[in-house]
Amino acid sequence: MIADILRSLRPQQWTKNGFVFAALLFSLKVFDVPLLLRTLAAFGVFCFLSGAIYLLNDVCDYAEDRLHPKKSSRPIASGRLPRRTGLAAAAVIGIVSLAAAAFLGRPFFIAAAVYAVLQTAYSLKLKHVVILDVFLVAAGFVVRVAAGGLVIGVPLSHWLLICTTLLALFIALSKRRHEIVLLEDNAAGHRPILREYSAYLLDQMISVVTASTVIAYCLYTVSPETIAKFGTSNLIFTTPFVLYGIFRYLYLVHKKGQGGSPEEMIIRDRPLFFAVVLWVAAAVAILYFR
């Protein structure tokens, strides 16, 4: 049972919580050990808090998950883990995570609580509201970035929030498209909201968000605010890694039928993985060793 609970926390998806490090990276304080430790603690809090939400979501979606070729093997969907046990575990882990968040300061606790409320509302009701559902998925990433800034007490750039929002929408819409293409006629049976979407509609949305993400990032790198903050205009040279990463992601979604698990794509697809690593390395080199 403990093994099934741990599996239901989906540790393979904890890479999403890496967004809490964004504020630390762009505040030029990566080598500040106390702030790094606080950010690591924030990362841990979000790992278990998001895990509690995953458990709740599995309890709510157990019937639909049974129709999915991959999700049907999850502990709750398969019946190995009773729903009551999963719900109790989600409540305990969520409360403990929020208690830990309170030790990291009131601002961070508020951000963690907002994340918990939004994602709980999504699991219980709002995932059935067309378009709003993908915005709430994207909001989870934005709150992580905001929480990363609040835990170390640094102001957040509006450019960082804009780019995060657009990138998160890109990932969320790509995931919806993958579900429709994978499940075909059974898509609405697995997730009722999918009957409100089509591959064509999602492709139109993805096109808008993709262009907006690239433009926003390019404008961010050359904006006077960014150049004044970092004392360099060389951040523009990280753009090729962003472009390649987005194009590679689109290739995997449209030609390889992937997109359902972004965290697995990044880890398993070497070109995409190295694009992310090289972007981080280039950003650190430009910002910290100028």
Give me the pLDDT at residue 187, please.
57
pLDDT at position 281 is 93
Decide if 272 contacts 262 (C-beta within 8 A).
no
3-state SS record for the chain: CHHHHHHHCCHHHHHHHHHHHHHHHHCCCCCCHHHHHHHHHHHHHHHHHHHHHHHHHHHHCHHHHCCCCCHHHCHHHHCCCCHHHHHHHHHHHHHHHHHHHHHCCHHHHHHHHHHHHHHHHHHHCHHHCCCHHHHHHHHHHHHHHHHHHHHHCCCCCHHHHHHHHHHHHHHHHHHHHHHHHHHHHHHHHHCHHHHHCCHHHHHHHHHHHHHHHHHHHHHHHHCHHHHHHHCCCHHHHHHHHHHHHHHHHHHHHHHCCCCCCHHHHHHHCHHHHHHHHHHHHHHHHHHHCC
Q: What is residue 71's predicted lDDT score, i.e. its pLDDT? A: 73
Averages of pLDDT over runs of 10 residues in the chain (290 residues) are 81 86 90 93 94 87 73 78 86 93 94 94 87 91 94 88 92 87 65 82 93 94 90 92 94 81 83 93 89
pLDDT for 188 = 57
Q: What is the pLDDT of residues 34-93, one digit of tens each?
A: 999 999 999 999 999 999 998 888 888 777 777 766 777 778 877 788 888 888 988 999
Residue of 164, 31, 50 whose CA lies nearest to 101: 50
What is residue 186's predicted lDDT score, i.e. its pLDDT?
63
Say if residue 184 is exposed, middle or buried (CB neighbours under 10 Å; 0-12, 13-18, 19+): exposed
Q: What is the pLDDT of residue 124?
A: 86
Say if pTM beats, i.e. exceeds, 0.85.
Answer: yes
